[in-house]
Amino acid sequence: MNVFILYAHPEPQSLNGSLKDFAVATLTDLGHSVAVSDLYAMGWKATADGDDFPVRQNPDRLHYPRESASAYTGGTQPAAITAEQNKLLWADAVILQFPLWWYSMPAIMKGWFERVYAYGFAYGVGEHGGERWGDRFGEGTLLGRRALVSTTIGGREPQYTRGGVNGSLFDVLWPIQHGTLYYPGMAVLDPFVVYRADSLTPERWHAITDQYRTRLETLFTADPIPFRRQNGGHYDGQQVLKDGLGGGETGLRMHLLQPGEPPEHPLGRS
Amino acid sequence: MNVFILYAHPEPQSLNGSLKDFAVATLTDLGHSVAVSDLYAMGWKATADGDDFPVRQNPDRLHYPRESASAYTGGTQPAAITAEQNKLLWADAVILQFPLWWYSMPAIMKGWFERVYAYGFAYGVGEHGGERWGDRFGEGTLLGRRALVSTTIGGREPQYTRGGVNGSLFDVLWPIQHGTLYYPGMAVLDPFVVYRADSLTPERWHAITDQYRTRLETLFTADPIPFRRQNGGHYDGQQVLKDGLGGGETGLRMHLLQPGEPPEHPLGRS
C-alpha cells in the first residue's frame, strides 16, 4: 500500500524527526511504498495569499476560495500545490507527524492544508442544497483513505484525559481529526501520542517504538474513530444531531456512533 | 484604555478587513488607543524555526523552547518578536480578527503565537513543582488583560451549536480561547462571530456592525467566559478536574465554573 507522511519539525534530530524516520523504515520493511513531505526541509510556504494564484479571476480583490476553485478546475495551480494533492490521491494512508504547539499543528502544516486543500478538491465537493451540505464528513475526494495523527506533547497524559486541564486530547484534536482529516472523507485512526516529549530516555524510546511499530502494523486493519457521517441520517436538515442520539454525551463525543443507536444510511444515500 | 488588534486576512477589502477597520474607528471614537498588527501587510514570518534565534545556545540541534527561553531572558530576540510582545504588554484588551479556516486561525496567525509566545513570557512561567504546574490558565504574564475572538465563518450557525456537525463553536475555539488566550492569563470574552460570511448584504452589514459596536462598547465591562483557574483548587495534583465538579457536562464545558460549586481559592494561593 502507499503511505504519505506529512512531517513538520524544524530539527531533523528531534523526536519528531526520529519518529518520521522510524515510520519510513518500518513501513518500508512491511512492504509499503512511502512518500514524505518534510515541510521545513522543503521550505514550504506557510501563508495562503494571492501568490497562490498566478492566474487571477479577480485581480482587484482576492477571494481565496473562488480563486482556489478557479485554479483547481482550470489547471493553473502552482506545481507545488498540485504535487501535494497528488500525494494525497496516491496515498492509501496519510500520517501527520508533528509536535503539538499551542494545542494545534505547527503553522507550517496548517498552511499546507490551507493551500493544498483546494476548493473542489477538499471542500466545495458534491451537491449543496436541500438537506445536503456537500460530500464531507464521511464522503469526499479522499474517501477510502486512512489518516493517523502522530504527535508529541510536552505535558503529561492525565492533563489530556477527560477532566484534564488542557481538555481531553480527543477534544483538542477535533479541528484536525474531524475538521481537517475526516472532512474530505478520510477514516481517522486513534492518534499515536508521546507525552512528556522533553524527558526522553533510551528506555522510553524503545517502549515508544515498540508501540508505534504495532500502530504501523495495524495501519490498514485497526478500526477508525467512529465519527458519524454527515449524510448518514443522524443529522437533521440543519446538520444538527437528531434527538435521542449521542448516548448522553454533552460534548464533542456525541458525534461518535454510540452502542445501540439506529444504523446510518448506506453510503451514497442521504 | 489600550486595545491591540491582531488581524490576519490577505485581502484589505474583505469582511475581516472591514471589521478590523470598524473596530479601529469605533474604539478610537470611544476614547481608546488602538494598535493593529496586520500580519499579511507586515509580511509576518509564519514559520517558527532556527532563524528566530540569531544567537544560539546549541547551534548543532534546535530545541525551540530552550532557545526561546535563552533569547527571551538574554535579550537576543529579533526586534520583530519583541515588538509584538510589547504590544501585548501595552494592551488592556487584545482582539483577534481572522477568518475561521479549517476550524482554526490562519497559519500566519498561528505562527505569530508560536514565535511571539516565548518561553518565560507566555509559558514556562512560575513555579513548576508539587501540585503546581506553572502560572497558566488564570495566571501568567498577561493577567489583567481581556481577549476577544472576532471571526468570520462560511457555514451557518446551527452547524456550530451543541449538536451541530462541525462541533459547537465553544469546542472548536477551545485551542484558541482556552489553550492560547487564557493560557498566559487573559480573560476571554464570548466570541463575536459572523456566520455565512460569503453571503453578505448591505442590510446584514448594518446589523453586524450594530452588534459589533455593542461588543466593543462592553469590551471592558462584559463578563468573561468563566474558565476555571488551574491553581484555583478545582483540579487535583494531576491537573484533573475533581469529582463532583462540572455540572454533569461530559465535554469541554466541564471546565467552566458551574452554578452552586464551591468557590475557587483566591488568586495567588494554590
Contacts of B170 in chain A (CB under 8 A): none
B-chain residues near A166 (CB < 8 A): 179, 239
Q: How confident is the model at residue B138 (pLDDT cuts 50, 70, 90)?
A: very high
User: Are A47 and B46 an interchain contact pair (Cβ–Cβ within 8 Å)?
Assistant: yes
Q: Which of A46, A158, A171 sits opposite B107 (nearest CB)?
A: A46
Q: Using a CB-CB distance cutoff of 8 angstroms, which residues of chain A are in contact with residue B51?
A: none
Interface touch B165/A50, C-beta < 8 Å: no
Facing residue for A107 by CB, picked from B111, B159, B164: B111
State how far residue A140 is from chain B, nearest Cα, in angstroms: 15
Q: For residues B110 and A133, which has the higher predicted lDDT (pLDDT)?
A: B110
Q: Do B61 and A249 touch (CB under 8 A)?
A: no
**Residues A11, B249: C-beta atoms closer than 8 Å:** no
pLDDT on residue A23: 99
Q: Which of A9, A16, A165 is the best mutation test for B, with the most CBs of B within 10 A?
A: A165
Cell of B269: 494561593
Confidence (pLDDT) at B260: 95
**Contact assignment for A101 to B114 by CB distance below 8 Å:** yes
Q: Are B187 and B231 in contact (CB under 8 A)?
A: no
Q: Judge: A114–B101 Cβ closer than 8 Å, yes or no.
A: yes
Contact B110 A113 (CB under 8 A): no
Query: Per-residue confidence at A269, pLDDT binned at 50, 70, 90?
Result: low
Please report where in the chains the cell 446551527 appears, as a residue. Answer: B158
Sequence-distant (≥ 6) Cβ neighbours of residue B56 within 8 angstroms: B50, B62, B67
B14 contact residues in A (CB cutoff 8 A): 62-63
Contact criterion met (CB < 8 Å) for A165 and B101:
no
Residues facing residue A240 across a β-bridge: B164
- Residue A101: beta bridge partners? A104
The DSSP result for A212-224, as a single string, is HHHHHHTTTTSPP
Mutate to test the interface with A, among B14, B110, B173, B176 (most CBs of A within 10 A): B110
| % of residues, chain A, pLDDT over 70 | 99
What is the distance, to the nearest Å, from the Cα of residue A63 to the centroid of all Cα atoms in its chain? 25
Q: How many helices (H) and strands (E) does chain B have?
A: 8, 8
What residues in A contact B139, CB-CB < 8 Å? Answer: none
| Position B130 confidence tier, pLDDT thresholds 50, 70, 90 | confident
Measured between beta carbons, the chain B residues lying within 8 angstroms of A165 are 133, 137, 230, 235, 239-241, 255
Q: Do B107 and A103 touch (CB under 8 A)?
A: no
Taking one residue from A and the other from B, the number of pairs with CB-CB distance under 8 angstroms is 215
A31 CA: distance to closest CA in chain B (Å): 32
User: What distances in angstroms separate CA A66 from CA A69, A118, B16, B139, one per listed residue?
Assistant: 5, 10, 16, 43
How distant is the Cα of B170 from the closest Cα of chain A, in angstroms? 10
Tell whether the model's pLDDT for residue B270 goes beyond 80: no
Q: Please tell me the distance in Å from B214's CA to the nearest CA on chain A.
A: 28
The total of other beta-carbon atoms located within 10 Å of residue B259's CB is 5
- Cell representation of residue A179: 475538521
**Is-contact A239 A230, C-beta < 8 A?**
yes
Residues in chain B with CB shorter than 8 Å from the CB of A65 are 154, 198
What type of residue sits at position A107?
A
pLDDT of residue B269: 53
pLDDT at A234: 97
- Sign of the torsion angle spanned by Cα atoms A113, A105, B36, B2: positive
Rounded average pLDDT over B82-89: 98
Using an 8 Å CB-CB cutoff, list chain A residues near B225.
none
**Min distance B31 CA to chain A CA atoms (Å):** 32
Flag if B10 and A252 touch (Cβ within 8 Å).
no
What pLDDT shows up at residue A244? 95
Residue B131 has pLDDT above 90, yes or no: no
Which domains does chain B carry? 2-227 (3.40.50.360)
Q: Which helix (H) or strand (E) holds B146?
A: strand B146-152
Q: What pTM was computed for the model? A: 0.98
Q: What is the ipTM of this complex?
A: 0.98
Euclidean distance between CA atoms B146 and B233, whole angstroms: 23
Interchain CB distance below 8 Å, B167 and A253: no
Mean pLDDT in residue range B146-163: 98
Residue from the list B14, B158, B241 with its beta carbon closest to the beta carbon of A240: B158
* Dist CA A4 CA B142 (whole Å): 40
At B93 the three-state DSSP class reads: strand
Across chain B, mean pLDDT equals: 96
Measure the CA–CA gap between A173 and A105, rounded to whole angstroms.
9
Least confident of A38-52, A120-134, B187-201: A120-134
> A262: burial class by Cβ within 10 Å (0-12, 13-18, 19+)?
exposed
- The residues pairing with B99 across neighbouring beta strands, listed in sequence order, are B152
DSSP state letters, B176-215:
HIIIIIITTTPEEPPPEEESSTTS--HHHHHHHHHHHHHH
